Structure 1
Amino acid sequence: MTVLLGGWIFAALLLVVAGWRGIVERRFPDADDAMRLLEVRDWLAGQGWFDVAQHRLNGGDFPMHWSRLVDLPLAAAIVVLRPWCGPPLAEHIALVVVPLLTLLVALSLIAAIARRLGGEALVLPALLMAALSIPLTFQLSPLRIDHHGWQIVLALAVTRGLIATPTMRSGSICGLALALLLTISLEGLPIAAAIGAVAGLGWVLQPGRGAMLRAMLVTLTSGAVALHVATRGPDFWLPACDAVAPAWLATLAVATAGVVAASTIERFGAAARSMALAGAGAAGGATLVLLAPTCLAGPFGTLPPLVYRIWYLSVLEGRPLWEQQSVWAVATLALPLAGLLGAAIGWRHATPEMRDRWAMIATLLLAATATAVFVSRAGATANALAAPAAAAWLRRVLVRARRIERPMPRVVATVATLTLAAPGTLAAGLLQSVSNERAAPEPPALYRTCRSAGDMRALAALPTGTVFAPIDVTPALLVDTPHRAVAGGYHRGARAIARVITGFMASPDAARGVIVASRADYVAVCPGMQELDAYRQRAPNGLWARLARGERIAWLLPLPIRGPALAWQVIRPLPEGRSAP
């Protein structure tokens, strides 16, 4: 416990010191963090538990697919703190405390996994490697309040249960954690599928693991149904590809029934168990194809071409690692690769009864790493799963360094070995020192540039109205001002996203019709944001490109506001003979 608390305090201090300025100024790491705070505020202000829509976006017609489960710890912290320090400070403290407590839970699970794999000797190096993993700690840092941190925690919880003694109890724990993981976000489906595959393979090789596998799947299915009732209520039967829905629940139920039925042939050999497992998986897949064939294209398969090309392809966290900056790709993959090496070392030197655990960790880590290659945001989970395995490699190198007899070489070798506790940072730093990657083009110098979307809070001084703003700054605008807006970066509001993109890239005459149709009172931007640079580069004669050059648009009246954000009032009515589309 002392080692765990020490590791957590060390990591928390690093994160607080590194992000102090952003914490004080409440600059969210991502637009989704601002939107999560807005979700919690709306709920505490009286919006229904089952209603997660954003009623200040697109005239109130802006459905969301998010789960209320992630709102619970934030709301609880705010409610507890409000009587002591008032609503604004209570909110601010919760934004810092909740992610750091989530970090503590994650580190405790990493320590538990390391202890299961190699005893106390692996705990300290595992905690050190986790605390120094930037892809992991970014998702658990102050103000990072979106669902990613909880996904990491739940993936670790399932992994801890997977390598425990295979009983119905450990299977039920795994199933409940998986149900929570998928309910929070269907982004967890790849790692959940990998965990199910590892558990299934374990049963094929060792029939004694059958009770655990069945308990896991039964608990997963029943837990997912119960959580769906608890979080969706009257919308239980609504179809969806981007969240748990009836088709997904039916898929789980059919696959679970197949595995339970397979228990009747459990004693017939590995080949029979393999065929039964494949049959259960095929039946589940066929159920999804029959009930929701459109879901095979993924949640973004039906986006309009304009939205897909301009917005979706620019959301880098959902893109593969080869589309990221090479420094970030290296930082993401270094620890998982070290983990695979550590798993091989651990398996080689383990006792026969411990090799099964190392084999499961290695297989799961390989799947998580492959997922991260194709979807960048999965890198945090891969890093979390890698830390306990990579600790075996780090400890082995450290032991060799400390066996050096001469004091000075021993000290130098030990210090050099400790730098390997952050392989991602080390590899990224080395690459950065020799990299010739060019920085993004500088924005026009005509206006001051925003440091973050939080600079949009200056618009709070304007009379309340609807703001036609870039997609990425809209969540911060809604959090910091009483205004309404048109669109945020959420795929269920694809038509509203298309309206914003079109408005900023169209010619001023065409843009006026789009903006007036949205009933906007203001147009506002935060110069220097990547989204605006993309509009300017793709449409050099579009509305934003011309405003960025300092041109005056007859139907936009510049408004004086403090800070680098810019705002214009939309002048109405339209000229005679013209109408909004």
Structure 2
Amino acid sequence: MTIQGTGWKHDLLLALCATLLVLAINAISGFPTIADLGADNDSMLRLVEVRDLLAGQSWFDLHQYRMGLTGGFVMHWSRLVDTPISLIILAFQALGASMAAAERAAQIIWPLFLYGLTIFVILRASRRFAGADVAMPSLILSTAALFFLGTFSPGTLDHHNVQILLTAASLWLLMEAPSWRPAAFLSGLCAGLTLAIGMETAPYVAALGACAAVLFILDERERLTARGFGTGFAVVALVVLVATVPPSAWGVAQCDAFSAFQFVIAALSGFGLAAIAGLSGQSTVKTRLVSMSALFLAVAAVAIVFFPQCLASPYAGLDERLRTYWLNDVVEAQPFLSVAVNEPKLMAARYVTPFIALLLIGFQLHRRRPRREEAIAAALLIIAFVISLWQVRGSTFSVAFAVLPLSTWIAGIRLQASAAQSWRGSTRIAAAWLASLNVTWAGVAVAAQSVAQKAPAGINSDADHALTCSKAGDFGDLAALPATTVLASSNLGSAIVMFTGHRALASPYHRNVGGNLAMLDAFMGTPDAARAVVEREHVGLVAICRGNSEELSLAAEAPAGLAARLLHGDVPDWLELDGQTAGKPVKVYKVR
């Protein structure tokens, strides 16, 4: 099968068809990722943030007042993601839909809209990477890869899917720059937007900027590319600063959210790149290299002198107890070795196809000098893969970028097989397809694990451990109680504020230091120590999810602590079980 047509409208239609297919699959299965959000705390809290905005909370006010200690804490997220979700909800309400129906529509439309656009972008990038023959492999691989990542599933409202789209778009547009003049500016704009949405994309943005600079250093004809990218990057940084940061905070540096630090670095590097490209004239490679080196040193000096606190590890200042009992258990923050040992299915699904893609690129580099498009894509894939070795969250980008070399590989084998048809050629095609699908390797890992080992008796074998407490119904009894502050594990924090009107003392966010430490003091401390925390923080209810991994971990670490006692039915006299929650996934205890 060969896909005819190479225009953007054709690719947009293909992406739409893929999106409608995924929509149909989810609809037939009853949108399971909306009915049960699982451990997707970010998507739950994003919806809460949107609700607060629509209820009148200030655009510039990112406080989560119903989380943490009294007064809440400021989240590090961007209103740029809240805006389209809010507009979808408002549009459906204007058509007469209830708030619940409008929210459900947003939970379906927004991630699938991003899904379709990302497939379109990868299709266009694949064509630029290797030509028209890769269209069909690219369509199938991108559709499958993004589907099984889960980052674009209905209900997924966090910012990671937006960042994948914007980063992939910046990559594609940088490839397109020589043949379409606005592409470089738009590439810089996308790079700036993805950085504004979340600092975790800073390495990819830096790689894209470095590509634009190196291309210009090596080839004076890339002048417009460098100038356009730099201008777009700097301009969007200025717009984002004005649009999302209150004037009173323009001089404040926040290392984990867009602020003065990110703006200064983006403006200096972006406008500097554009200025050098615009003023160089008929320069030589040496003069361009010297100019770019000077710009790099200037940007580095500004960062070191004025923002040294932002050059350390993102979690360098995190309390050691939070690092031990929270961060070390956050799946997306785990390094490769930890994932390989503890989550072999996740490891296989996230690392094998990018690794194969890197091998394919390495093979091509060994044979010949890379083309411009290959060099850019290789740089992004290498950066993403290296980051994924540090934290598994980087694999969401490397899996997407890997589609380019993998689809090229399949297309090449198909062309060879069509020229001389044989069973060997067909076997090679089938093997290439299977090797290029991340779901294949996940299946292999599951099969191997089931053969190699059996679950130890008595561990996670009872019905309680199957409970994750991630459905709205799990919190129905809690929601019916008068609003108060709830002591629960951080994993339940987002669900509590989404499904009930209560405050959650703890939550899975690094800025909620006080609330999370208070939760640890209570759940790992003796009943008397826990009562002191409860009284100090005005806690009215204690909630326990019998299958929550965090509570089980805390109970194992502190067998005499409150969490362990409650899990074993040893209730202190200052707590009283709410009878409606007996035997339910979420047990609720009232403070006497």
TM-score (norm 1): 0.90
Give 3-state SS (helix, strand or coil) of 1:569's partner: strand
1:52 aligns with 2:62: yes
Pairing 1:404-483 to 2, within 5 Å after superposition: 405=421, 415-422=430-437, 424-435=438-449, 436=452, 442-443=459-460, 445=462, 450-454=467-471, 455-483=474-502
| Contact 2:177–2:225 (Cα < 8 Å) also in 1 | no
| Contact 1:135–1:332 (Cα < 8 Å) also in 2 | no
Pairing 1:264-303 to 2, within 5 Å after superposition: 264=279, 267-303=282-318
- Deviation at 1:12? 3.8
Q: 1:89 to 1:399 in 2, by over 3 A?
A: same
Pairing 1:310-329 to 2, within 5 Å after superposition: 310-324=325-339, 325-329=343-347
| Contact 1:248–1:288 (Cα < 8 Å) also in 2 | no
Pairing 1:116-265 to 2, within 5 Å after superposition: 116-133=128-145, 137-166=149-178, 169-234=182-247, 235-256=249-270, 258-260=272-274, 262-263=276-277, 264=279
Q: 1:507 to 1:475 in 2, by over 3 A?
A: same
Aligned to 1:32: 42
Separation in structure 2 between the aligned mates of residue 445 and residue 165 of structure 1, nearest angstrom: 58
Question: Which AA in structure 2 matches 1:568?
Answer: Y
2:573 counterpart (542, 554, 578): 554
**Number of equivalent positions:** 566
Separation in structure 2 between the aligned mates of residue 491 and residue 214 of structure 1, nearest angstrom: 37
Residue identity over aligned pairs, in percent, reads: 27
Question: Which AA in structure 1 matches 2:64?
Answer: Q
Separation in structure 2 between the aligned mates of residue 340 and residue 258 of structure 1, nearest angstrom: 32
| Contact 2:469–2:585 (Cα < 8 Å) also in 1 | no
Q: More deviation in 266-275 or 215-224?
A: 266-275
Q: 1:203 to 1:411 in 2, by over 3 A?
A: closer
Give 3-state SS (helix, strand or coil) of 1:567's partner: strand
| Contact 2:527–2:562 (Cα < 8 Å) also in 1 | yes
Deviation sequence 1:166-207 (CA, Å, 0-9, x none): 376222111111111111111110111111122222112112
Q: 1:136 to 1:428 in 2, by over 3 A?
A: closer
- Deviation at 1:449? 5.2
Deviation sequence 1:264-290 (CA, Å, 0-9, x none): 556453333333323212221221121
Give 3-state SS (helix, strand or coil) of 1:133's partner: helix
Give unpaired runs (5+ residues) of structure 1: 572-581
Aligned to 2:529: 510
Aligned to 1:570: 591
Separation in structure 2 between the aligned mates of residue 273 and residue 363 of structure 1, nearest angstrom: 21
Q: 1:409 to 1:189 in 2, by over 3 A?
A: closer
| Contact 2:524–2:554 (Cα < 8 Å) also in 1 | yes
Pairing 1:352-431 to 2, within 5 Å after superposition: 355-402=371-418, 405=421, 415-422=430-437, 424-431=438-445
Q: 1:143 to 1:359 in 2, by over 3 A?
A: same
Give 3-state SS (helix, strand or coil) of 1:525's partner: strand
| Contact 1:29–1:143 (Cα < 8 Å) also in 2 | no
Q: 1:19 to 1:202 in 2, by over 3 A?
A: farther
Give 3-state SS (helix, strand or coil) of 2:246's partner: helix
| Contact 1:258–1:279 (Cα < 8 Å) also in 2 | no
Separation in structure 2 between the aligned mates of residue 59 and residue 428 of structure 1, nearest angstrom: 44
Separation in structure 2 between the aligned mates of residue 193 and residue 559 of structure 1, nearest angstrom: 53
Question: Which AA in structure 1 matches 2:441?
Answer: A
- Deviation at 1:504? 0.7
- Deviation at 1:154? 0.3
Give 3-state SS (helix, strand or coil) of 1:60's partner: coil
Aligned to 1:335: 353
- Deviation at 1:425? 2.0
Aligned to 1:575: none
Separation in structure 1 between the aligned mates of residue 215 and residue 399 of structure 2, nearest angstrom: 23
| Contact 1:26–1:143 (Cα < 8 Å) also in 2 | no
Question: Which AA in structure 2 matches 1:329?
Answer: M
Separation in structure 2 between the aligned mates of residue 452 and residue 64 of structure 1, nearest angstrom: 24
Give 3-state SS (helix, strand or coil) of 2:576's partner: strand
Separation in structure 1 between the aligned mates of residue 129 and residue 489 of structure 2, nearest angstrom: 48
| Contact 1:332–1:380 (Cα < 8 Å) also in 2 | yes
Q: More deviation in 512-521 or 213-222?
A: 213-222
Pairing 1:535-550 to 2, within 5 Å after superposition: 535-550=554-569
- Root-mean-square deviation (Å): 2.6
Give 3-state SS (helix, strand or coil) of 2:58's partner: coil
| Contact 2:506–2:516 (Cα < 8 Å) also in 1 | yes
Give 3-state SS (helix, strand or coil) of 1:92's partner: helix
Q: 1:97 to 1:160 in 2, by over 3 A?
A: same
Q: 1:233 to 1:136 in 2, by over 3 A?
A: farther
Aligned to 1:577: none
| Contact 2:237–2:267 (Cα < 8 Å) also in 1 | no
Give 3-state SS (helix, strand or coil) of 2:176's partner: coil
Q: 1:481 to 1:517 in 2, by over 3 A?
A: same
| Contact 2:217–2:289 (Cα < 8 Å) also in 1 | yes
Separation in structure 1 between the aligned mates of residue 536 and residue 122 of structure 2, nearest angstrom: 52
- Deviation at 1:347? 7.3
Give 3-state SS (helix, strand or coil) of 1:47's partner: coil
1:489 aligns with 2:502: no
Q: 1:285 to 1:168 in 2, by over 3 A?
A: farther
Question: Which AA in structure 1 matches 2:467?
Answer: C
| Contact 1:242–1:298 (Cα < 8 Å) also in 2 | no
1:75 aligns with 2:86: yes
Separation in structure 1 between the aligned mates of residue 299 and residue 326 of structure 2, nearest angstrom: 33
- Deviation at 1:404? 5.7
Deviation sequence 1:137-172 (CA, Å, 0-9, x none): 411111111000000010011011110133762221
| Contact 1:332–1:383 (Cα < 8 Å) also in 2 | yes
TM-score (norm 2): 0.89
Separation in structure 2 between the aligned mates of residue 14 and residue 567 of structure 1, nearest angstrom: 36
Deviation sequence 1:232-291 (CA, Å, 0-9, x none): 223333321101211222223333454355445564533333333232122212211211
Question: Which AA in structure 1 matches 2:125?
Answer: I
Give unpaired runs (5+ residues) of structure 2: 1-9
Pairing 1:340-355 to 2, within 5 Å after superposition: 340-343=358-361, 355=371
Q: More deviation in 426-435 or 459-468?
A: 426-435
Deviation sequence 1:350-401 (CA, Å, 0-9, x none): 9x9x921122212221122112221211211111122122101012223344
Deviation sequence 1:205-233 (CA, Å, 0-9, x none): 11221232132123212211211210122
Question: Which AA in structure 2 matches 1:184?
Answer: I
Separation in structure 1 between the aligned mates of residue 245 and residue 298 of structure 2, nearest angstrom: 26
- Deviation at 1:450? 2.4
Q: 1:416 to 1:340 in 2, by over 3 A?
A: closer
Q: 1:168 to 1:417 in 2, by over 3 A?
A: closer
| Contact 1:341–1:390 (Cα < 8 Å) also in 2 | no
- Deviation at 1:123? 1.5
Deviation sequence 1:37-82 (CA, Å, 0-9, x none): 0001111111111111111123232111111111122111111112
